[in-house]
Copies of this chain bind each other. A is one copy, B any other.
Amino acid sequence: GILDKKTLGIGLVGSGFMGRTHALGLASVGRVFDLPVVPRLELLADATMPLAEAAAARFGFARATDDWQSLVADPAVAIVDITAPNKLHAPIALAALAAGKPVYCEKPLAPTAEEALTMALAAERAGVVTQVGFNYICNPMLTLARDMIAAGELGQIWGFRGIHAEDFMANRQTPWTWRLDPAGGAGAIADIGSHIIGMARYLLGPIAAVCADVETVIDRRPLPGQPDELRTVAVDDQARLLVRFGNGCRGTVEASWLSSGRQMQLEFEVIGEKGALVFSQERFNELRYYKTEADRSRNGFRTILAGPEHAPYGAFCVAGGHQIGFNDLKVIEIRNFLAALAGGPKPFADFREGYEVQRVIDAALLSSKNEAWVRL
């Protein structure tokens, strides 16, 4: 039973938006899935002791600390889970890898591809399981899409159109946040663009070349609590990319956090010779599918609803059409990580993959700066 299973002590760094989602997922994963090992909420680190203690109490971690280094070093911590702001990913992860501990880190992996490569190499040297938090690809409907493409159900792939647009920065008065800190890397292209780039790679494989137009639209923001104190914004608000995949298919990718009215426009279309797929994260329990047939009179895009036919949906609900939620995607992600730790296949989005996504981002920034195509 779950109560007797081998546990792995988790050290979670950060308890904000993602910290909370990780904590919830870590606490549920063992009941949703029947795993060989289950997480134990051992230690939570945050920037200050009050923050760490409050979060530990709230989410049920046994202990709290304001020092991520001690967390990494803690013998009861078997896994380091990083949900701190981007610029902390590398130092924490490298320390954990140096200590030989598996690392589960939020996206984007690092501020630059160079730093991400260092992390990937360290991970490979350490020989431990790593994972980057690209939760959206953990959706059963994404697995379905990838499997259909891989099985040739769409025939040769001719086009990809991907976007991740939201509007959480669309108001000029929205104050400065760590997401605008250039020490943490790029802006929208990294923060949400990394999701659609990762998704594109998950579905279609490597991106071989990009040509991008990246821009900062709102170039000053008030400081938090100081509406009259404006700080210059150096990172991008919007990015648009022409892309060419290694498999010959071409397409576009976009990212924006200024997209008025959009709360989760993470969308793609994959067009192939024998059909097409259309997906929107705003309705992520659906996948629209067109299957080319000789007789068009009764044909059209069909809306597939997620159900137990689409593993691992059935682990959450035995009946189709009921829908899994955002937090459940994280549960699947954590399952993948734990399964890998128990000897299963390594997660798709490991540090190497995190580095590859970062390479695309860096290439896009370079391309935009030089107004030229960049080969990867």
Question: Which secondary structure dominates chain A's binding surface?
Answer: mixed
For chain A residues 130-169, which have a beta carbon within 8 Å of chain B? 144, 148, 153-154, 158-159, 161, 163, 165-166, 168
Listed in ascending order, the chain A residues whose CB lies under 8 Å from chain B are 1-4, 17, 20-21, 23-24, 27-28, 30-32, 34, 56-60, 62, 144, 148, 153-154, 158-159, 161, 163, 165-166, 168, 170-172, 211-213, 215, 217, 238, 240, 242, 244, 250-252, 254, 256, 258-264, 271-276, 281-284, 286, 289-292, 295-305, 307, 309-310, 316-328, 371-373
Evaluate contact between A60 and B319: CB separation under 8 angstroms.
Answer: no
CA distance A198 to B148 in the complex (A): 36
- Cβ contact of A60, chosen from B31, B62, B168, cutoff 8 A: B31
A297 touches B276 (CB 8 A): no
Q: Known contacts A1-B57, A256-B271, A261-B292; can you find 20 more A-B pairs with CB under 8 A? A: A1-B58, A27-B27, A30-B60, A34-B58, A158-B258, A170-B273, A213-B250, A240-B251, A240-B252, A260-B272, A261-B276, A263-B320, A264-B323, A291-B298, A297-B309, A298-B302, A300-B305, A323-B323, A324-B326, A325-B327
A248 to chain B, nearest CB (A): 9
* Partner pick for A215 among B60, B250, B261, B305, CB 8 A cutoff: B250
B298 near A21 (CB under 8 angstroms)?
Answer: no
Closest residue to A215 on the B side, CB-wise?
A: B250
A153, A254, A264 pick with most chain B CB within 10 angstroms: A264
